[in-house]
Amino acid sequence: MLKRLLPILIAVALVGCKNQQLKQTEVGSGKFAVNKQVEAKVDSLLSLMTLEEKIGQLNQLSGNGEVTGPISFPAEYMEALRKGLVGSMLNINGAAYTYKVQKVAVEESRLHIPLIFGYDVIHGYKTIFPIPLGEAASWDMEAIEKSARVAAIEASAAGQHWTFAPMVDIARDPRWGRVMEGAGEDPFFGSAVARARVKGFQGSKLSDTSSIAACAKHFVAYGAAQAGRDYNTVDISERTLYEVYLPPFKSALDAGVVTFMSSFNELNGIPVTGNKAMVNDLLKEKWGFNGFVDSDWGSIREMIYHGYAANEYEAGYLAMSSGVDMDLEGRIYLAQLKKLVEDGRITVEQLDEAVRRILRVKFELGLFDNPYKGCDSIREKELLLNPRHLEIAREVTRKSLVLLKNENVLPLSRNIRSIAVVGPLADNQDELIGTWSGRGEGKHVVSVLSGIREKLPNGNIYYAKGCEIVGENKAGFDEAINAARKADAVVVVVGESAMMSGEALSRAFLDLPGVQKDLVMELNALHKPLVVVVMNGRPLTIEWMDKAVPAILEAWLPGTMGGLAIADVLFGDYNPSGKLPMSFPRNVGQIPIFYYQKSTGRPPRQEERYTSKYIDSPVSPLYPFGYGLSYTTFEYSNLSISSPSIKMDETLKVSVDVRNSGKYDGEEVVQLYVRDMVGSVTRPIRELKGFKKIFIKSGESARVEFSLTSNDLAFYNQNMEYIAEPGDFMLFIGGNSDASLGLGFRLEE
């Protein structure tokens, strides 16, 4: 071991500092802070670096493990490593492989600067959790943090130092394929999820063996792509940018995230990867971000295709001068920065600042103390898919499931004589891990059929696929119908394939693909107890299903333990508690659809002609943001506030009784919404300002409390000042964004 580290010790000694243990960044305790000892080491190392070696640190190449974008050049990179021309690699997987590559970079280069290995650990590394939109549906920040922690433990055991997550893009358009990757439509909620995920990935100390650097992406407003078409133009108001799309990034920053990723999209005419106002001026200067900014895959070059850069030289200039520190698989910095510096377009100080930020993160990760951090095949073998991780995945997955409808079908009885389990996703494993599934493998996934078999080891279970996910072939219908005829109850598992959501996977239609709808309707026509389990990477237009079938369980793409978690809910071993993080539209025509709409001058009234509505569809979503049922019922009462008004510097205490009036113990997500009745800028009819997930035993009650201050009521006024204005407010509390239990209060000067 010492032999391997000897070059590092020499390099570090060269920088003229003792190799004492550094005071490490305490993550989660606030913004990533600069550490004087680290800065001294960075300064010394910088002073030894040639121009080429500095540029090398900004160069990030993809390995040939697998690619996650259009590979621009063949991945021959060992020579570049030896010359110190690579600062980071992505898609290099496994303790052995990362060790092999790191050894070349560290032991065969002049200054032995370690690589930082990055990978898309989006919802698990080997143990795959529900897609992030599904996990968000748990509304359980502890569970979400725990999931990221497990992902970090497994990824770090496989040699990864850095994940390109959390994706914190707010999304109001389910046509966009990447809604699966985020936390849905609300900035307050998305900010809470961002914080939980950063803390889970980065742990308590970045240098800990199981900590990996997190990455807030895609900065910024990538989810506002016009028409839900990935990579498409984003043109939004400054106020919408600040009130909707920026907050989760600020939350990630305040949680200590050490990297950001600039997005592909243009923002109001300027591609973000070349947008100095956003990256340098706001993120780095105004917000004080001390980590580094990575481009997205080739997004520097893509400024040429945007029509914003004339050529690679200009693209490199625009990105560098905007504050993008690292070039993800673009090789523009490698090819152009030397000339840009020699031409004086980019100063040595600008170059040094980018290198400094990257070296700072590498030092904080402990990579100079141990560049082989994580390259431990024994630990890798012990930790990947280990039983405790699988159990945690089952717990998190259960919490992610959302009961959308239940007319006395669920929970099913374990004594049921026979059950039909049908549909193209009923006995499927590969689709259940979704996209961005890291090193997850379908063969480790528990299918729904297997999960049900585990619940009914002696039950009569009749399985039939019925049809494929796509295609018009109905030849399998008879078998499915016959299976259902024989059974006392029917579980139909339908939805999207993994490759129907994710990057570059937008959909113009949001129906169940293929002939799955016909299969569900024919089974439903048997009038048996029937539940549809829907697996999807985004909200779907399933109003027909809601009208027709008696029970619907939203399962998202549930990951490795999906089948067991779903069976736990179907048979009542877990009372579903999930709530939707995104509105479900009735039809594509309603999109973009989200709960915090503005009132307009003619608020929608279906029965009145001249109001803001459709003549061929309701305005309301099929299921609103925050919606989800339980096997029990929760009743809200005794809503009270500490005072009818508060001053700017006072706190309003809000409390409400929540009673479990049903026969099952269960969890409820109590949500607090606020409306500012009159503002110098119009305000949404509702805004989420608090939520608490609580467990209440059947027949018992809980008193739930929230606090509101003037800062919670602030918004960007006509001058874009973030201020609260005196006036009348309404607050609403309940189990979804349509909550009707409300009270008024005033905010005084």
424 closest CA partner among 508, 504, 498, 502: 498
Residue 444: strand, helix, or coil: helix
In the complex with ligand GLC, the residue whose CB is nearer, 68 or 428, is 68
One residue of 59, 68, 275, 536 binding ligand GLC per CB under 6 A: 68
Q: Closer to ligand GLC at the Cβ: 217 or 693?
A: 217
Instruction: Annotate each residue in 283-302 with x if it binds ligand GLC (CB under 6 A) or - if it does not, as one string.
Output: -------------xx-----
Query: CA quadruple 606, 612, 617, 620: dihedral positive or negative?
Result: negative
Kindly state whether residue 164 participates in binding ligand GLC, applying the rule CB under 6 A.
yes
Q: Closer to ligand GLC at the Cβ: 60 or 109?
A: 60
Among 359, 372, 362, CA closest to 54: 359
Place of tokens 């095949």: 377
| 247 vs 502 by CB, closer to ligand GLC | 502
Q: Please give the backbone phi and psi of residue 715, each rounded to the nearest 5 degrees, phi first.
A: -155, 175
Residue 225 dihedral angles phi and psi, to the nearest 5°: -55, 130
Of 68 and 560, which CB lies nearer to ligand GLC in the complex structure?
68
Give, as one character, the DSSP assignment of residue 131. Answer: P
Note whether 327 binds ligand GLC by CB under 6 A.
no
Structure tokens at 609: 């002609």
Q: What is d(CA 73, CA 62) in angstroms, rounded to the nearest whole number?
A: 10
Min dist CB 670 to ligand GLC, Å, is 34
Nearest distance, CB of residue 270 and ligand GLC, angstroms: 19
CB atoms within 10 A of CB 294: 27
- Interaction residues for ligand GLC, span 562-621 (CB under 6 A): none
Task: Find the shortest distance in angstroms from Cβ 38 to ligand GLC.
Answer: 26
Length of the chain: 749
Give the nearer residue to ligand GLC in terms of CB position, either 32 or 297.
297
120 is a site residue for ligand GLC (CB under 6 A): yes
Distance from C-alpha of 689 to C-alpha of 707, rounded to nearest angstrom: 9
Q: Which C-beta is closer to ligand GLC: that of 168 or that of 346? A: 168
String marking each residue 241-280 x if it binds ligand GLC according to CB under 6 A: ----------------------------------------
To ligand GLC, the closest distance from the beta carbon of 258 in angstroms equals 15
Q: Does 502 bind ligand GLC (CB under 6 A)?
A: no
Instruction: Please give the size of the binding site for ligand GLC, defined by CB under 6 A.
Output: 9
Residue in 11, 31, 38, 69 binding ligand GLC, rule: CB under 6 A: 69
Q: Name the catalytic one among 140, 169, 186, 296.
A: 296
573 is catalytic: no
User: What DSSP character marks residue 362?
Assistant: H
Q: How buried is 486 (Cβ within 10 angstroms: 0-12 exposed, 13-18 middle, 19+ buried)?
A: exposed
The residue type of 241 is L
Q: Are 732 and 641 in contact (CB under 8 A)?
A: no
3-state secondary structure of 474: coil
The nearer residue to ligand GLC, 63 or 187, going by C-beta atoms, is: 63
Strand partners, 327: 59
Residue 308 touching ligand GLC (CB under 6 A): no
Q: Which is nearer to ligand GLC, 120 or 668 (CB)?
A: 120
Tokens found for residue 176:
């966009």
Tell whether the torsion through CA atoms of 271, 276, 277 and 278 is positive or negative.
positive
- Nearest approach, Cβ of residue 90 and ligand GLC (Å): 6
Residue 350 Cβ vs ligand GLC, minimum distance, rounded to whole Å: 24
Contact flag: residue 217 with ligand GLC (CB under 6 A):
yes
Whichever of 296 and 325 has its CB closer to ligand GLC, that residue is 296
Lookup result for tokens 């109003």: 543
C-alpha 105/C-alpha 371 separation (Å) is 10
Least distance to ligand GLC from the beta carbon of 317, Å?
A: 23
176 counts as binding ligand GLC under rule CB under 6 A: no
Task: Give the largest Cα separation in the chain, rounded.
Answer: 81
| Contact between 133 and 538 (Cβ < 8 Å) | yes
**Minimum gap (Å) between residue 238 Cβ and ligand GLC:** 25
Q: Residue 35 or 295: which CB sits closer to ligand GLC? A: 295
Among 503, 554, 667, 676, binds ligand GLC (CB under 6 A): 503
Helix, strand or coil, per DSSP, at residue 459: coil
Q: Report the nearest approach of ligand GLC to the CB of residue 117 (Å).
A: 12
Q: Enumerate residues 6+ apart whose C-beta is below 8 A from 347.
A: 341
DSSP 665-706: -EEEEEEEEEEESS-SS--BS-EEEEEEEEEE-TT-EEEEEE
Q: Which residues in the 87-106 window bind ligand GLC by CB under 6 A?
A: 90
The conformation of residue 219, written as its DSSP 8-state character, comes to E
CB of 120 to ligand GLC, least distance (A): 5
Min dist CB 68 to ligand GLC, Å, is 3
SS (H, E, C) 224-245: HCHHHCCCCCECCCHHHHHHHH
Q: Which residues pair with 733 in a beta bridge?
A: 672, 741
Could you give the CA distance from residue 288 to residue 161 in angstroms, rounded to a whole number? 23
- In angstroms, how far is CA 583 from the centroid of its own chain? 16
Helix H or strand E encompassing 50? none
Residues with catalytic annotation? Answer: 296
Q: Footprint of ligand GLC on this chain (CB under 6 A)?
A: 68-69, 90, 120, 164, 217, 296-297, 503
